Each structure stands twice: as structure tokens, then as C-alpha cells.
Amino acid sequence: MLAAFVWLAALAAAHWDTAGRLDNLYLDWNLRRLAAQHPADPGIVMIDIDEPTLEAMVPEYGRYPWTRAVYGQLLEGLARQQPAAIVFDILFIDPQKEHLADDLYFVRTATALPNVYFPMVRLSAPPQAERGNGYLLKELKNATAGPGADPEARAALLLPLPGLSQTGRLGTINVFADADGVVRRYPMHLETYGWRIASLPARLARDLGYSVPATENLMITWHGPPRSYRTVSFYDVFTDLDRKQPQRPAEEFRGRIVIVGTTASGLHDLKLTPMGANYPGTEVLATTIDNLKNGERLRVSPAWIMPATTALVLLVLAIGFTRGISPLPLGAGLLVFTVALAAGGWAAMAFGRTVIPVVSPLLFAWLYFLPAAIRAYWLERRDRQRVTQLFSRFLDPRVVKGLVEKGETDASLSGQKREITVLFSDIRGFTTLSERKSAQEIVDLLNRYFSLQVEVIFRHQGTLDKYIGDAIMAFWGAPTDQADHAPRALACAREMEQALLRFRQELGPDGENFNIGIGIHTGEAVVGFIGSPEHRQDYTVIGDTVNTASRIEGATRGRSRILVSAAVRDACRARCTFTDRGLVKLKGKEDKVHLFEPKWETS
């Protein structure tokens, strides 16, 4: 069952990535908790081309996109405040043929400043198309050759205007969503035919002296919902920079990283992120730069952790089920493990900045546990019914109930060596009585008598071993532990004698010669189920203790109705008095056995 489940789970995970999607939901929940505790870096400011800007710029500059002179003027104004860097999240690809002078002005202004950065985009295109029309990577200042790089490799790229590209201050802004469509990572570089093309955040980070991770992707540490970074309207900044008497703070952008981008919904730069839908792409860029600036790293645990954890918990469950542990404690243990792993995943994220798989192992564990628990419950119920039927033949129902509740089985109660007390009871004078009765009358009489005596045995919580012709064998001390097994057997013998007297009264004249002999002995014996497993087994005791009890019962003829051994007398001194019947030679015993007759006070 375990093997089949693991293969099916692996197949499902490979085809539908269900577990991975659920893990992402838990990851996103943790990312939101983490974001709430760590605000955005105030040293990063966004100049936003928002909806009001698009509307306010129309009268003087026309509809978007505007001529590049607008951005040239913005750069000149921002440069006076000496920001740490100015990063454009706007593509300047094709020349504006009707405004070439404006393009030239913008390029001259941007190239004259040492800290202005521009985006580029790696396009998805067939290799043959790239070889014919792509950009030669060795001429790209932002590309680094790796081992085995093709010197003539070309790639389909959207580059900014030639003058801007020549600065080398550019990087890719390609962002790839996970399988569920959510953006959680930002590429640090793109591998292309053995070349590494740096991303815009990585290019900026290296120039500003920030550490850039060697990994291909940086898992983003978020800092809140949209608008978490200080954002100012492009129109407000642009018009204020052009005033003779600016109204905004003169040091507003000094020493800060300024990102120029757009959040206007009509420009379609919106992403689905753990912080929610419609998250501005510009703010994704800002968050990634924030991570690099402040050394924020989310480490992802090795890929083998998830299957190893899953296999371990499934193995523990499987061992528990195969060893017969009840589903209830296993389920409780799995619940504790669930809480512990969920708390561990949160702690690893909050304090160790490490992402560990939580949902996948728990999903597979619970999906395995539920059918396995149902199966175990069904097997346990079947065993309970079988044990109940098995023990009800020779135990009081209350004792059977206790055994079943403790989960005892025929296997667990078999092959034990215990100190027990054995009682034999045989009928006297039955031969004479049977000569005057029909066969059916004899059977009815015996059934009536045995019913009375078995009720007495069960009332004293004894175990009915068997009927041997017209004799009864019972014992105490098994299958349940009974510290007072000898006194219980002796009390049972007394009540059996009283039941005999009442039965004789029921028989009338036929009962004059109807009598019994009872022998009791205490000692060690082997207890268990004896017989053929396929056909019939009886719960019985074997050993010298049984033989001695049987011989004591035989010695009652002509001596007493009840005789016990010295071991029984010693265990019951406080319960009644005994009359010494001397040493008696028993059949099959080399040494004589000291026998005693119990005497009870009559009321």
C-alpha cells in the first residue's frame, strides 16, 4: 500500500505539481508575514507615471508616449540633487523619427551622467532566427563570456537607443513567473549560449558596491503591498523641477536610488505576486534592488529535502501501522508533526530566511494516513469482533470487554508463563442417575447444571477452560492479571457448592445421589491458545499445576466435597479456616501432597 501510494503521489506531483502549488501558497503566506515586519527602504524612491500624470501632461506634451526631451529635462533636474542612481523602467528602443533632436538631447544628457541606468529585454526566439538577426553578444557590454561560450553567439534583444546602449549601464528586466503564474524570483543574469547577461538590478548593484548572489535567480523578499515604497507623481516632480522657485524639498532625492517607471493600469506593467494581483512591475524592480542593497537573501533548501522528509514520515507511519499501533496515537503524532513542521517552516523563514518544504510532506503524509487509518480501523474492528467471539466462550462478558478495550489479541495472550489457580469440578453419582433417564433428559440436565456453574465461574471472573465429560475445568490469573486468583477460585468453589445444593433441591428424589468433587491448586503453568490455527483452538493451561489440580479433585472421593493444596491454603488463610486432611498419595505424583478442606462459618 505504501509503495503504491508513493508511486501515485510522485506521478501526480510530476504531472500536476499539486504539492508544489500548495507549498507556494504556504510560502506566500510566510512572505506576507515577513513583509509586514520589514518596511521598504526609504532610500529607494519611485517617480511614477500614474493616471493623473498621463492626464495632466496631455495639454502641453500630448498623449503618452511623450518626446524623449521630457526625460532629458527630468534627468537634468534630478542630477542637480545628486541621487545615488537614476534607473529607468521604461524602454527607449526605437528612435522617434519626428523628434530626432529630442532623442539626441535625451541621449546626450543621459550619457553625460555617470549613474543613469536603462532596461533591455531578452526576447524568446528560435535559435536559427537569432543566428540570422540577433545581436552579437561579444559586442554587448553587459554580457560576460562563460566557459565554452560561443564567440559568434547572437541573441534576440530589445536594446535601448544606440547611444544609451554604449554606456554599458543597462540590464535585462525579464521576469518569469512560477508554474502558478506568480512572480517570486528575479533573475540575476540570463544564460545565453554560454554568455551571462546581467539583469538591471544586478548591474546597478555591482556599480554601487552591493553584493550580488551567484545564483541565477534571487527569491524576492517583499516589503509590503503596492505603494510600499515612497512614490511621487512624475508630473509633480517634472513641473516642480521646471519652476524658478521649486516648491518641493531641494534635497528630496539626494543620495537615493530613483526609479522612473509607471503604475498606470493602461500601460499594462502589472504583475501577480505574493503581495497580490496588479502589483506594479516597477515596484518589483524596486524590491529586488532593495534586496540587493540590504543583503536580503531567501535561501531555498536543497531539492532532496522534500522527498527525504516525505519518505521519512511515510516510513514512520508505515512502520506504526504494520506493528499494529492504533490509528488514534498515530494520527495524534502526525498532528503534532504537522504543527511542528508548519511552525518550523515559519521560524525558518522568519529567523533563518530559509524556505523549507512544508505542505508537500504533510500532504502526502495525510493522504497516506487517511486510507491506511481506515484500513487499520477496519482490521482492528474485525480483530475485536473475532477476539470477542473467541473469548466469550470461556470468559465473563465484562472481562472480554476489558481485554478488547486494551487491544489484546489471541497472539498477545498466547504463550505466557503465569502463576494461576486451577479448579476442577466433577459430578458424583451421575452414572446412577443416568440409568433412570433418557438420553435427552440427561443432556438437558447436564446443560442446566453447567449453566448454573458457569455463571458462578464468570461471576468470580474465572476463565472457563473446558468441559471434560461431566467435569468442568476453570482457572484464574489469566488472561487478565489477578493478584487474588487463589481467593477468587476458593470463593467460586464455595458458591458452586451452594449452587449444587439448590440444584439437588430442583431434582427432588433424583438429586439424592447427585454430588460433586472440587479440587483446587495454585502454581505456574503455560497459558495460551492450543490447537490447529486452521480448524480449532482453545485457550487453555498446561503443566504440572493442571495435573495436580485434577488429581486433587479425584482425591475428594470419600474425604470432602472440596479439597485444596497447601499453596491455596497459604494464599487464603485470611479468608477462611482449613481442616488438615493430611498427606495424600496422588496418582502420577511421586511425593505425597498435603491437602486441606476449607471451612466457612455458617450464618
Give residue-wise pLDDT tens across range 244-292.
Answer: 888 999 899 999 999 999 988 777 788 999 998 889 999 999 999 999 9
Residues 66 and 19 in one domain: no
Check residue 580 and give its pLDDT.
93
User: Is 383 part of a structural domain of the chain?
Assistant: yes
pLDDT in tens, 356-389: 888 888 888 888 888 888 888 887 777 666 666 6
CA triple 401-405-410, angle to 5 deg: 80
Q: Report the 10 Å Cβ neighbour count for 263.
A: 22
* CB neighbour list of residue 71: distance below 8 Å, 6 or more residues apart: 88, 90, 92, 106, 110, 260
Instruction: Dump the DSSP string for 5-17.
Output: HHHHHHHHHHHH-
Residues 183 and 239 in one domain: yes
On the question of pLDDT at 399 being above 60, the answer is no
Among residues 376, 391, 406, the one where a domain terminates is 391
Judged by average pLDDT, the poorest of 55-64, 289-298, 317-326 is 317-326
| Average pLDDT over every residue of 204-227 | 93
On the question of pLDDT at 391 being above 70, the answer is no
Distance CA 119, CA 136 (A): 18
Judged by average pLDDT, the poorest of 134-138, 265-269, 332-336 is 265-269
Residues 433 and 489 in one domain: yes
Beta strand 170-172 pairing with 116-122: parallel
pLDDT in tens, 143-152: 999 888 989 8
DSSP percent split of the chain into helix, strand, coil, nearest 5:
45, 20, 30
- Which residue type is seen at 78? L
Check residue 15 and give its pLDDT.
55
| Average pLDDT over every residue of 222-246 | 92
On the question of pLDDT at 107 being above 90, the answer is yes
| Average pLDDT over every residue of 81-99 | 94
pLDDT in tens, 550-596: 999 999 988 899 999 999 999 998 888 999 999 999 888 888 999 99
Check residue 201 and give its pLDDT.
97
Residues 421 and 316 in one domain: no
Among residues 269, 293, 317, the one where a domain terminates is 293
Check residue 397 and give its pLDDT.
61
On the question of pLDDT at 446 being above 70, the answer is yes
Query: Of 274, 360, 277, 348, which Cα lies nearest the Cα of 312?
Result: 360
7 — pLDDT class (breaks 50, 70, 90): low
Check residue 587 and give its pLDDT.
85
Residues 83 and 8 in one domain: no
DSSP-derived 3-state class of residue 127: helix
Q: What is the average pLDDT value for the chain, to the nearest integer?
A: 87
Instruction: Residue 410: give its domain's CATH number.
Output: 3.30.70.1230
Instruction: Dump the DSSP string for 284-326.
Output: HHHHHHHHHHTT---EEPPTTHHHHHHHHHHHHHHHHHHTT--
Residues 334 and 274 in one domain: no
Residues 66 and 26 in one domain: no
C-alpha grid cell for residue 283? 515596484
Residues 385 and 460 in one domain: no
| Average pLDDT over every residue of 76-87 | 96
Burial class (CB in 10 A: 0-12, 13-18, 19+), 342: middle
Check residue 412 and give its pLDDT.
52
Residues 231 and 336 in one domain: no
Distance CA 293, CA 284 (A): 14
User: Is 209 part of a structural domain of the chain?
Assistant: yes
603 — pLDDT class (breaks 50, 70, 90): very low
User: Is 384 part of a structural domain of the chain?
Assistant: yes
Judged by average pLDDT, the poorest of 313-327, 386-400, 499-513, 553-567 is 386-400
Q: Domain span at residue 559?
A: 397-599
Among residues 361, 391, 421, the one where a domain terminates is 391
Q: Residue with C-alpha cell 505576486?
A: 273
User: Is 182 part of a structural domain of the chain?
Assistant: yes
On the question of pLDDT at 523 being above 80, the answer is yes
Residues 279 and 305 in one domain: no
Burial 184-195 (b: 16+ CB within 10 A, else e): bbbbbbbebbeb
User: Is 37 part of a structural domain of the chain?
Assistant: no
Distance CA 421, CA 546 (A): 9
159 — pLDDT class (breaks 50, 70, 90): very high
User: Is 36 part of a structural domain of the chain?
Assistant: no
pLDDT cut 90: percent of the chain above it: 53
User: Is 418 part of a structural domain of the chain?
Assistant: yes
On the question of pLDDT at 237 being above 50, the answer is yes
Q: Which of 86-90, 147-151, 513-517 has the highest mean pLDDT?
A: 86-90
519 — pLDDT class (breaks 50, 70, 90): very high
| Average pLDDT over every residue of 146-174 | 92
User: Is 187 part of a structural domain of the chain?
Assistant: yes
Residues 275 and 345 in one domain: no
Give the chain's domain count: 3
Residues 470 and 529 in one domain: yes
